[in-house]
Each structure stands twice: as structure tokens, then as C-alpha cells.
């Protein structure tokens, strides 16, 4: 579930204009140090005009919604640490608690509608499944995986990248 939670954040962040530095469900120390990040994380930067409350709110809700979609029902796990943390951050985006509550339902619906789209959900799935295998992805890898769902050129680029990685791993193996 954590992989789908993080993948939902990633896909929404990219579609809303954030620059994803790294995403992880178990970030190795050498990567965490490079990006000043923790273990379970999504590290993003926002161009100033894209980093609106609304966009950041959509990204925060997307993790929880992805798990809702995967499980086939609206989460009753809002007490889960990841969801609680995201909801707390969502609340902190708005000047008052009432503003946060007023925007929650509207943005939840908007994020859910976006994530339910078949191409979008395919992007979430490919990121999540890759995180389950690899545990972390860097910025260019996230882009390759997302583009592989969007078009043939992206698919070929990912295949080429994975072939290069396989060749590199074979050369590292002792004979």
C-alpha cells in the first residue's frame, strides 16, 4: 500500500508542475544524503507559479486516494500515520481549519477524478510496482516510467534504459 500511496503523490505532483527529485519507500543513505531526505519520502520542488495551495493540496490527497482506488473503497484508515501526516500538512496549507475543511471535499473529488483516468492510473501502477521492486527512483527514472505509459517514444526510452541497466549489472557480477 505504501508504494501506491507514494506513487499517487508522484503522478499528481508531476501533472501539477512539481519537479520530483526522488521518491522512495526505503531510501538508501547515500541517496537520502544527496537529497536531504528521509526514508519514506517524496522530494519535490515547485516553480513559484505552480506551487499553489490547490496544487499542493491535490498532491497531498493523491496518496490516500490512490490507496482508496487500489482497495476499491474510500479509506477508513485516516488514522494511518502517512494519511494523518498528509491531512495535517493539507490543513496547514489553509489560513483556518474551516478553510481546510471547506476545500477538502472539493479537492478530494478533483484528485480522485484525475487518478481514476485509465492513463493516469497506469502511471500510478507502474511507479508503485517499480517502487516495490527497486524501493526508490530518482527524478529521471520517474519521468521515464511515466512517459512509458503516455507514448511509444517514452516506452522505447524506458526499454533502452532498462537494457543499459541490465548490461551494467551483468558486467558487475563476478565470473
Q: CA-CA distance, 160 to 147, in Å (whole number)?
A: 13
The residue ranges of every structural domain in the chain are: 2-138
Question: What pLDDT shows up at residue 34?
Answer: 54
3-class DSSP assignment, residue 16 = coil
Question: What pLDDT shows up at residue 175?
Answer: 56
Check residue 52 and report its DSSP letter: -
Question: What pLDDT shows up at residue 118?
Answer: 93
Average pLDDT per block of 10 residues along the chain, 175 residues long: 91 91 72 50 73 91 93 65 85 93 94 95 94 87 88 86 82 65
Question: What pLDDT shows up at residue 47?
Answer: 77
Distance of CA 150 to the CA centre of its chain: 16
CATH number of 2-138: 1.20.58.760
Contact of 37 with 25, CB cutoff 8 Å: no
Q: CA-CA distance, 20 to 78, in Å (whole number)?
A: 25
Contact of 65 with 111, CB cutoff 8 Å: yes
Question: What pLDDT shows up at residue 38?
Answer: 46
Question: What pLDDT shows up at residue 48?
Answer: 75
pTM confidence score: 0.81
Amino acid at each position: 500500500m505504501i508504494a501506491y500511496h507514494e506513487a499517487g503523490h508522484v503522478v499528481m505532483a508531476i501533472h501539477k508542475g512539481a519537479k520530483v527529485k526522488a521518491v522512495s519507500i526505503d531510501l538508501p543513505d547515500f541517496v537520502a544524503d544527496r537529497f536531504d531526505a528521509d526514508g519514506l519520502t517524496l522530494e519535490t520542488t515547485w516553480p513559484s507559479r505552480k506551487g499553489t495551495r490547490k496544487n499542493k493540496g491535490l498532491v497531498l490527497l493523491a496518496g490516500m486516494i490512490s490507496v482508496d482506488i487500489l482497495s476499491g473503497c474510500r479509506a477508513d484508515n485516516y488514522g494511518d500515520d502517512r494519511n494523518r501526516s498528509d491531512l495535517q500538512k493539507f490543513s496547514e496549507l489553509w489560513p483556518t481549519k474551516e478553510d481546510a475543511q471547506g476545500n477538502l471535499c472539493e479537492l478530494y473529488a478533483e484528485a480522485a477524478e484525475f487518478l481514476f483516468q485509465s492513463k493516469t492510473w497506469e502511471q500510478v501502477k507502474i511507479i508503485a510496482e517499480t517502487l516495490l521492486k527497486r524501493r526508490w527512483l530518482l527524478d529521471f527514472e520517474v519521468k521515464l516510467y511515466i512517459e512509458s505509459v503516455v507514448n511509444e517514444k517514452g516506452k522505447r526510452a524506458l526499454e533502452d534504459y532498462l537494457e543499459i541497466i541490465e548490461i551494467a549489472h551483468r558486467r558487475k557480477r563476478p565470473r
